[in-house]
Every structure is written in structure tokens, then in C-alpha cells.
Amino acid sequence: MSPDNAINERGQQLLKVLVEKYIRDGQPVGSKTLAEETVLGLSSATIRNVLADLEAHGYLRSPHTSAGRVPTVKGYRFFVDSLLTLQPLDNTAFQQFQQQLSPDQNVQDLVSTASNWLSEVTRMAGLVMLPKREKILLRHVEFLPLSDNRILAILVLNEHEVQNRIIYTDRVYNLVELQQAANFLVTTYAGQDIQQVRRQLAGAMQEERTHLGQLMQTAVEFGSKALASPADAAKDYVIAGQNHLLELAGETGVERLRQLFEAFTQKQDILHLLDQCLSAEGLQIFIGEESGYAALDECSLVTAPYSFEGKPVGVLGVIGPTRMSYDKVIPVVDITAKLLSAALNQGYLPPD
Amino acid sequence: MSPDNAINERGQQLLKVLVEKYIRDGQPVGSKTLAEETVLGLSSATIRNVLADLEAHGYLRSPHTSAGRVPTVKGYRFFVDSLLTLQPLDNTAFQQFQQQLSPDQNVQDLVSTASNWLSEVTRMAGLVMLPKREKILLRHVEFLPLSDNRILAILVLNEHEVQNRIIYTDRVYNLVELQQAANFLVTTYAGQDIQQVRRQLAGAMQEERTHLGQLMQTAVEFGSKALASPADAAKDYVIAGQNHLLELAGETGVERLRQLFEAFTQKQDILHLLDQCLSAEGLQIFIGEESGYAALDECSLVTAPYSFEGKPVGVLGVIGPTRMSYDKVIPVVDITAKLLSAALNQGYLPPD
DNA sequence: TTTAGCAATCTCTCATCAAGAGTGCTAGTA
DNA sequence: TACTAGCACTCTTGATGAGAGATTGCTAAA
């Protein structure tokens, strides 16, 4: 009826209606229903022929002889790529979200706000990768003495990210010494990328052991300890609304769900997947097995990268059943990525 | 056979064996099985009589006529209170945990380490309340200028908890002004409880608006803003290992599980419950409906308070099916609370 | 007080059956 | 040639019932 892999106009229309209906109801769709609901005015018999064709081409499958048809991954894929009509999203709802995203929040808070928002709006699980910026600028350093040769190092990075860690020293230092050391570090290195700073400090450690004064030596030593592999490229993500996925349990079985939740706590597979989305530009969708991870076999993942200073630094998205409302989810993910980017860049995006 | 609510020695023994077996297998236990497994050398008929008695007193119930018996909440309660023989816990396992609990971690990390540990060892969900200390000592203050009348305020509290927030000002201040203000605050208020500091600052705001110099005025204003209801008594908890609860799905139905997970994200009910455990001393157990929250009807909660400087400041525990191995869980919760207390107090506890 | 025995009760599993839904195929029709 | 009507066929679903198995409560005996 049609060349190898192609399906004609009518087939596409029917596929579209079928997938939409299946997404709504979750029940296999038969030719009769389709004949009634579609505008084409075709008889069920004709539709049966078309459906048989679609099945032969791998877009549909029947759970069993008399159960109507269900989209395959290939079917969903074609639907999403070529047939989808996106729903405009609710304006008031996401203005509210925009307000939550104050650029004064630290990155952690921004990320979890976004994650929560995604999960609430889509009623599925939202996840947001922590941004990994190429450059992390050192802004301020502060050392405070603790008990027992321990020092609390406080780093201010980029705009207003605060990190702290404890470093150990060979002897006890007093407040003044520490302040001087910190001052030295700030005046010398503030505004530079911490990778650079690290390298310079390492170099200084070698050279100036003999050359220079006590002060600089201490400063260099502490600085190097304080910056020793801090969580600059925090490879992690935040997930919200796993609850919603429990509704999957009915359709797909509890065991699969456990595997999925397991994957969430293991994190690595998911992270790997998100990483891929970072390099690929724009919104991306993994349907069912397309992801390549068994735990996600029954799920779809809609992702979009968000950016800082024009460069993509992280990925966010939504995980839900394969049978999700792509037409609604896609715009949400898209907008969320844009809003998060905007918040990160301290600016704001006009409502359109 | 026995006075109102009491059950005789033999009844207790049988109840114990029955509950233990039910906890192991999850299947209703019948008189025949009990006759075989018990050492008493009684016939199944005798045991039937005893069981009928226990059922009449409300310790057991039959799911249906021919299904053996299952403990009621009252049965579990009696079992836990009077019949339980605690299992000594694996030494090597928890030494490993002890190592993870470095006193140099900040409170957040300690709490989530503990939560993870609880969930891993018990294979159920672990939860740990964030500590709410009576006194939070101000240790250090630092102000950094940001763009646009905004200032990054960094607070160091207690030993080495670092908090930061952004405050807004009426004009732009330079670095020196800010340093002076911070210095003033540190020298005046460091070491005091932040509640006190707050009060004093509030007082100073009223009085000295006219009296004193620009410096102090700025300092007082900023200090008061920086300390304005920061998350000192962070009413929150950390949960880990919700995965494990998915195994509950089979026995109790997915819908209940959803309610439970919902309760976890709402947090308030759970927090309220944990709060109760804080006032009551020592380890505490809620079995099934005893908690009073519908979402926990099919669960048991084992909690223990942990303390700082001798006073209970938080609660940790484990949530799992009513049918959990109390004999193993209780010691774990108990020890974990002690170890967490020890870590908070910077000391360490000898293995015994 | 304990036990053996027995009828009664209830679940669980399996098989069977009828109803319903949907399909594929064939033969007719525009 | 494209579409449709009709029909036999297949498969699920739900109801029904029979039989096995498990356990109980009761009674009567030890």
C-alpha cells in the first residue's frame, strides 16, 4: 500500500488520533472506536486495513488478537516527531513559578524549586541536574580557627555561592594570621577561575617554599587545601515528585517501579543519560527503551538543557510513563529550562 | 480461662512464637504449624484453644475462617513490650558507620549520613529530624557587597555551621564599610545566642538611631536583617530509602503506599509525630494505627531521640511494615541515635 | 486438662462457559 | 481501485462452580 517505511497521510492522521486516545485512556484502541471518533468518515473495516498496515510497519502492536492496538516505541517516536500539536501552557501558572525563581537564591535552591515545579505541573517526576560551569570564579576567602589545629575555610564563588570546608593544619594559628592569609589570597586571586587559582597555588607551593615569607607560605598552603577538589562540578541532580510515578505501578508492575526508584538512588545511570542531553542541543525525548537503560524501559524522559552565559551548563526534565501527554509536557520543560537559565543569569525573561 | 485482659505464661509463649513466625513468613499462622514448631509438645487442638483465647482478648485475629491467625496491633504491642528478645547487632557493620560520621561534617551531612545508614541496614525507610538546638551561638559575621544594593551576609553559627543570605539596603556600601560593620557585630555579639542577639539588635535599632555614629547604625541594621528569622530551628527531616517501602506494595496495596509517600512529601504529619517522640524520653515505637495518622496505618515507626550537650535535640527512626523485625531494628535505631549524638558532641563513643 | 476426631467454613486454583470486543479475510459495491 | 459489509475466528473478561486444602470450633473421650 505504501513504500517501505513510509505511511501515507491518512495513516498518519489515524496514528495521531489513536496515540492521542491511548494517551488519554490507557486502553488499547480498536478500529470501531476510531471510526466513531475520527472525522474522516471511514468505516471500521477500512480503518482496520490501515491499522494492519501501521502494525506491519511497526508503529502499532496488538496486546492480543481482540484488544485493539497500542503504539510501539516507533509509533510514539513518529507521533512526537511529526504529528504532535503542542498545547499552549497556562500563563498564570508559570508566572507564579517565575516569581519563586528569585535570582537571589543560591543554585541549590533554584534547582530544587525548578524540580518541584516540574513535578507539580506535569504530575510526574521532575529532575534537574546541578549546573556545571566551565569557570567558577573565586570571589572571597575567609579562614576561622576551630579547636585542635582545624580551620574553617569559607569560600564565596561566582556571584554568591558559599561553600565551606574544614582543613587541618600542623599547628594552631591565631585569628590575625588567618586573616592575613585570607587577605592575601583574596587580593591575589579574587576574580579568577578556581582551576587557575589551584594551578597557580600548586606552582607557588613548589617555588616559594624558600623564597618568600611565612605569611605567603601559610596563605598558599591553606588556599591550596581549601580549594582541593571542592564540589565545583557537582555531578548530581535533584529529583522531585517520585510519588506521581506510583501511579505507574498499576500498569507496569511494582517490580519495574522498584528498579526505577533504585536507578534514582544510584543516580549514575540517570546522570549519564542527562549528560548526553547536555551535549545534544535543545529539547530531547527518550521514549521507552530508547534511553538504553532497562530501568527506564517503561518510561519516557523529556529533557531540555539550560544555560548560563550562553553556554549549556545543565539539563532538566521530566520522567513519566511512556503514555504521557507529550503535547503538554514538552512546552513545560522547554519553558522551565528557559526560566531557569534566566534566573541563573540574574536577568528575567519577558512572559513571552 | 484467664482474668480479663491477662494471658498466662503459655499463651504468651505461643503468642511470641506466632508473631515471630508471622514476621518471618508474612503468612497467617495456624495451630498445626505452631504445634510442630513449638517446643511445648502440645497438640494442635490445645493450641487452638489457646489461640481462640488470645483472639478473644484481642491479641490475634483471623483474616477468615480457615486462614490461621495474624497479630493485631494489640498483639504486636504486647510482643514488643514484653516478649521481645533483642538481637545483638553486627559489630563490623556499625563501626563502618561510625567512621562515616566525621564530626567535621556539617549538621546536614551528619543527618543524611545517619538517614542513609538507617535505611541501608534495616532495608526500610530511615528518617532523621534536623536538630533544633535551644541555643544557636553566633560565631562570625561577614558582609560582601553584591551588585545593586544587595549584600551577601555570611553567618557562622555554633561550631562550624555556615549560613548565608542576601539582604537589601537603601544604598550601595563599599567593602570597608561592610567590614567595619561586620567587625563591630562580631566583637559585640560573637559567642551569644542568636535569639539574644536579635533582641539586643532590635533594642539598639530603637534607641540609638539618634545617639550613635553611622557605623554602628549600619551594623545594627545589617545584623538585624541578616539574623531575621534565619532557619535556626529548621523544622525538617531527611528521609532515605523510600525504595525499600515499595516492597510493601504487594501486601498493602499501591493506594496506601501513595498516601504514605504523599505524607513524606507533605512532611507536616510526620514532623508532628516526630515532635512527640522528642518530648517522650527514649526509644519509642508506633505500631500501625497507634500513630494516629491514616497514612501510617499499615506501618510501624521506631524512633529514638538524639541529643546535644545532654539535651534531646532531634529524633531519628525507621519506618517499615508493621510486620518488621523489631528485634533487629530496635538496636539499630538505638545505636544510631547514640552515635549521632556522639558525633554532634564531637566526641566518640566506645564500641560498646 | 488435654487430646483425637469430625463436620463446617472459607480460600484458592482450575476449568468451563457465555458475552463482548476486535480482527482478518472475502466478497461485493461505487 | 478503493471502500465497505459481513462473517468466522480469536482472545480477554467475568461469572460460576467444583474440588482440594487448610484451619477452625465443637464434642466426646482419655
Closest CA to A93 of A115, A72, A122: A122
pTM of the model: 0.90
pLDDT at B102: 85
Q: Which residue of A has its CA nearest to B260?
A: A243
Residue A159 gets which letter from DSSP? T
pLDDT at B93: 83
pLDDT at A191: 92
Mapping DSSP onto H, E and C, the string for chain B reads CCCCCCCCHHHHHHHHHHHHHHHHHCCCECHHHHHHHCCCCCCHHHHHHHHHHHHHCCCEECCCCCCCEEECHHHHHHHHHHHCCCCCCCHHHHHHHHHHCCCCCCHHHHHHHHHHHHHHHHCCEEEEECCCCCCCEEEEEEEEECCCCEEEEEEEECCCEEEEEEEECCCCCCHHHHHHHHHHHHHHHCCCEHHHHHHHHHHHHHHHHHHCCHHHHHHHHHHHHHHCCCCCCCCCEEEECHHHHCCHHHHHCHHHHHHHHHHHHHCHHHHHHHHHHHHCCCCEEEEHHHHCCHHHCCEEEEEEEEEECCEEEEEEEEEEECCCCHHHHHHHHHHHHHHHHHHHCCCCCCCC
Distance CA B279, CA B268 (A): 17
Kindly determine whether the C-beta of residue B33 is less than 7 Å away from any atom of nucleic acid strand D: yes
Q: Which nucleotide is nearest to A31 (CA to C1')?
A: C22
What's the CA dihedral at B229, B231, B233, B235 to 10 degrees?
A: 120
Closest CA to B99 of B344, B343, B345, B315: B343
Kindly determine whether the C-beta of residue B31 is less than 7 Å away from any atom of nucleic acid strand D: yes
Which residues in B lie closer than 8 A to residue A250 (C-beta atoms)? 254
Instruction: Please state, in angstroms and as integers, the Cα–Cα distance from residue B301 to each residue in A246, B99, B178, B263, following that order.
Output: 22, 26, 49, 14
Closest-CA distance, B152 to chain A, in angstroms, reads: 7
Distance CA A176, CA A188 (A): 18
Sheet with strand A161-168: strands edge to edge: A138-145, A150-157, A161-168
Helices B214-227 and B175-189, interaxial angle, to 10°?
A: 70
Which residues in A lie closer than 8 A to residue B262 (C-beta atoms)? 243
pLDDT at A39: 76
First to last CA, chain B: 45
Asked if the model's pLDDT at residue B2 lies above 80, the reply is no
Asked if the model's pLDDT at residue B144 lies above 50, the reply is yes
B261 to A250: CB separation less than 8 angstroms, yes or no:
no
Find the farthest-apart pair of alpha carbons in chain B and give their distance in angstroms, rounded: 93
pLDDT at B228: 85
Instruction: Please state, in angstroms and as integers, the Cα–Cα distance from residue B291 to each residue in A202, B259, B302, B303, following that order.
Output: 57, 15, 11, 12
pLDDT at B217: 84
pLDDT at A260: 95
Please count the helices (runs of H) and the strands (runs of E) in chain A: 14, 10
Of B146, B162, B261, the CB nearest to A154: B162
Q: Which residue of B has its CA nearest to A250?
A: B254
A243 to B258: CB separation less than 8 angstroms, yes or no:
yes
pLDDT at A132: 86
pLDDT tens per residue, range B285-303 = 999 999 999 999 999 999 9
A164 to B159: CB separation less than 8 angstroms, yes or no:
no
- Determine the distance between B157 (CA) and C27 (C1') in angstroms: 88
Q: Which residue of B has its CA nearest to A245?
A: B258
pLDDT at A3: 42
pLDDT tens per residue, range B226-241 = 988 765 556 799 999 9
pLDDT tens per residue, range B249-281 = 877 888 889 999 999 999 999 999 999 999 888
Distance CA B164, CA A108 (A): 13
Q: Which residue of B has its CA nearest to A164?
A: B162
Q: Is A36 exposed, middle or buried (0-12, 13-18, 19+ CB in 10 A)?
A: exposed
Which residues in B lie closer than 8 A to residue A166 (C-beta atoms)? 104, 160
Kindly determine whether the C-beta of residue B125 is less than 7 Å away from any atom of nucleic acid strand D: no
All three cell numbers of B91? 559489630
B249 to A250: CB separation less than 8 angstroms, yes or no:
no
Asked if the model's pLDDT at residue B176 lies above 70, the reply is yes
pLDDT (tens, 9 = 90+) of chain A, 352 residues, equals 334 567 888 999 999 999 999 999 999 999 999 998 887 888 999 999 999 999 999 999 999 988 999 999 999 999 999 999 999 988 888 889 999 998 888 888 999 999 999 999 999 999 999 998 888 899 999 999 988 889 999 999 988 889 998 999 988 998 899 999 999 999 999 999 999 999 999 888 877 655 667 778 889 999 999 988 765 556 799 999 999 999 888 778 888 899 999 999 999 999 999 999 998 889 999 999 999 999 999 999 999 999 988 899 999 999 999 999 999 999 999 999 999 999 988 643 333 3
Do B112 and B95 contact (CB within 8 A), yes or no? Answer: no
Taking an 8 Å Cβ-Cβ cutoff, which residues of chain A contact chain B?
Answer: 104, 106, 139-140, 142, 144, 146, 150, 152, 154, 156, 159-160, 162, 164, 166, 241-243, 246-247, 249-250, 254, 257-258, 261-262, 265
The residues facing A80 across adjacent strands are: none
Residues ≥6 apart with Cβ < 8 Å to A21: A29, A33, A34, A37
Of B146, B250, B257, the CB nearest to A159: B146
pLDDT at A71: 97
- Determine the distance between B29 (CA) and C11 (C1') in angstroms: 15
- Determine the distance between B250 (CA) and C5 (C1') in angstroms: 38
Distance CA A222, CA A151 (A): 9
All three cell numbers of A304? 531540555
Of B164, B250, B254, the CB nearest to A246: B254
pLDDT at A282: 92
Radius of gyration, CA atoms only, chain B: 27
**Which backbone phi and psi does A319 adopt, to 5 degrees?**
-115, 130
Closest-CA distance, A290 to chain B, in angstroms, reads: 24
Which residues in A lie closer than 8 A to residue B261 (C-beta atoms)? 242-243, 246
Do A322 and A299 contact (CB within 8 A), yes or no? Answer: yes
Distance CA B70, CA B59 (A): 9
Q: Taking CA A261 as the corner, what is the angle to CA A258 and CA A267, rounded to the nearest 5 degrees?
A: 140
A154 to B144: CB separation less than 8 angstroms, yes or no:
no
Asked if the model's pLDDT at residue B349 lies above 70, the reply is no
The residues facing A153 across adjacent strands are: A143, A165
What is the percent of chain B where pLDDT is above 90?
Answer: 64
Of A142, A250, A265, the CB nearest to B142: A142
Of B154, B249, B265, the CB nearest to A162: B154
All three cell numbers of A54? 501501521
Which residues in B lie closer than 8 A to residue A246 (C-beta atoms)? 254, 257-258, 261
Of B242, B249, B265, the CB nearest to A254: B249
Helices A268-279 and A254-266, interaxial angle, to 10°?
A: 70
What's the CA dihedral at B66, B71, B73, B74 to 10 degrees?
A: 110
pLDDT tens per residue, range B179-221 = 999 999 999 999 999 999 999 998 888 775 556 677 788 899 9
Asked if the model's pLDDT at residue B103 lies above 70, the reply is yes
Asked if the model's pLDDT at residue B246 lies above 50, the reply is yes
Distance CA A199, CA A194 (A): 8
Do A101 and A66 contact (CB within 8 A), yes or no? Answer: no
Which residues in B lie closer than 8 A to residue A106 (C-beta atoms)? 164
A144 to B164: CB separation less than 8 angstroms, yes or no:
no
Asked if the model's pLDDT at residue B5 lies above 80, the reply is no
All three cell numbers of B15? 503468642
